[in-house]
Structure 1
């Protein structure tokens, strides 16, 4: 395995941690700034929407630049944003810090996915992307639970100071372990990268990403409230339950990468359909501690098992101009994140209870399942579709 993949995973760990850890700390942040649960949720939604801006804007602005220095610069931005959040004296300043940190997120994963796929043979590209995203799953398995635990005992700001320190370690890892990738800038242009968006399959892939990820996050964004207010778990157990969810992410990411190297579309169909079943069961059985524990693991596994396939699919249909499309898909993940957080917040604000985000997530997942079926059908009819043979 190329050492560069390890470095990319380290960067993914730091960035993934800053995105996800706030979910376990949301009640503490809301109390500190004296804002409602829905308002605190905008620290998640605002981050996600800013990822979209960075994924498109920064990726487009740096498309002709050498990729390693760009990754380094993005991590510097990440460190600055998290430090600002840690120092924030008001809700508004905390939001600014979240926005600054988020700007690097989409471009890092978008460019990093291209770099990861360039480090391995063609038949291992989805697996290489999965290795990079292992850092994101590790952030959930280890980082989020312990970050939540740290925040509960030393204040939520201490967690963001720790994240800034991890960002420094990730920066060193990129400098030391990622090789200088030959980047033929003369063969790359923004116009060529934008040309990838003339493909209907690229747009369908983006739609599946938004809805598939939005379904999972519709249920997960307010999970701390569901666990304590519905299932009846003590607040001190939330970090360990989040670790279980993270283990599911890890397993799903690994399995999804292996399956997607054989058939991308079949893999997506399987994981999205399975996620829908899990969300329906979770919504119906959320008051049961045993059912909730099982559902958390399966929700993480089936929800994140789609990621290698979704990222590989859009890069495949983008052809020789994958960088901006790859970044756009990372933005799409976070549009889904924002969609799920916003929709789940509406359910809570409407007085539908803390299981309403789960049911809303299930509804969004139904739309994702229908869209992936449409994409598969159209791909089969197209003689030029790269995934035609294995997806049939």
Structure 2
């Protein structure tokens, strides 16, 4: 794999750490800024919304820019938002800076996905995607616990400063490691309308919906994993970072394995991994009261959820191959629609069922729905062979 891919993964690691670290900083930020924890929780919602709208918005706005310039602008804007967040005494300013940093993150990831797939052979998009997503999974393993520890020792603002400083080597890596290739102009480049028209493609719609469902289940569980560990399994609070590291370790293994299979055997990954993922969520919800079972299953579920989810996001890139400048934003949007919707559905389930394991059942229902949709699509392809070739963009 080209070395610039690993430089992009470094930046994704920094941004992933920022995205996930906030869960452990909200109580301290709420006390410092004199708002309730519920109001401080809007910081998470603002980031999620910014991620969903930021990917297509930034990709469309900067589609004629050189990829290296777009990546640098997004990365520097992201760093600047964290400097503002570290300095401001006003919650409203922090909220706005958080939303803008999410827009920059989404724009970076959208362009990074398109850039990564352009750096490799056309049939290795899944492998390139796995390297980028490895930056996110390593963030859950190392970045988030480190950020939580730093925030506990030096205060929540110190974590924002650390993220801003980590952007410096990431920016240097982009500046000196990413080729200064300019987007092609003229007849060879599809118009924005043509690239947006690709969104009407049934294989692309299917891949995006399935990817959003699987990732929605993943983030529903990940967001509320702490109360499952402490209230259901009875583990001390000090074990929460350990559980997150276990999940992140499984996630890293999952994207690594899927990256080697998703280009050539996506059907195998989905046919085997998705049913196992469903079974795993049911088993986890049923046995979460046993600490040993929780830790073992959460590792497996991290591996399966990110393996299946990353494979589906790779299929989005394949299905959007006729949208070279916007395809990465479609993959990013699918990923983050799930990341935004999953915690909301988990919160609704928690409010209704009043048990910490409710989000796990939500994850199971989302995966079950995805399997039903996938099965119905397969049946339709068998009944109408003329659709088979188009469906191959999602599964082979």
Match of 1:204?
206
Counting matched residue pairs gives 391
C-alpha separation in 1, matches of 2:314 and 2:152: 38
Contact kept in structure 1, 2:112 and 2:328, CA below 8 Å: no
Structure 1: which 5+ runs fail to align? none
C-alpha separation in 2, matches of 1:83 and 1:57: 23
C-alpha separation in 1, matches of 2:154 and 2:124: 43
C-alpha separation in 2, matches of 1:328 and 1:139: 23
CA RMSD of aligned residues (A): 2.3
Q: TM-score, normalised by structure 1?
A: 0.92
Larger mean CA deviation between 348-357 and 208-217 belongs to: 348-357
Match of 2:312?
310
Larger mean CA deviation between 246-255 and 360-369 belongs to: 360-369
Deviations 1:90-133 (A, max 9, x none): 44333222201100222222221121111122332211221122
C-alpha separation in 2, matches of 1:373 and 1:295: 26
Match of 2:173?
173
Tell me how far 1:169 sits from its aligned partner.
1.9
Change (3 A) 1:192 1:64: farther
Structure 2: which 5+ runs fail to align? none
Larger mean CA deviation between 180-189 and 195-204 belongs to: 180-189
Change (3 A) 1:274 1:63: same
Contact kept in structure 1, 2:51 and 2:103, CA below 8 Å: yes
Matches within 5 A, 1:112-191: 112-186=112-186, 187-188=188-189, 189-191=191-193
C-alpha separation in 2, matches of 1:15 and 1:318: 24
Matches within 5 A, 1:1-392: 1-29=1-29, 32=32, 39-186=39-186, 187-188=188-189, 189-350=191-352, 352-378=354-380, 381=385, 382-385=387-390, 387=392, 391-392=395-396
List structure 1 runs of 4+ shifted beyond 6 angstroms. Answer: none
SS at match of 1:21: helix
Q: TM-score, normalised by structure 2?
A: 0.91
C-alpha separation in 1, matches of 2:377 and 2:30: 40
Contact kept in structure 1, 2:75 and 2:104, CA below 8 Å: yes
C-alpha separation in 2, matches of 1:256 and 1:30: 39
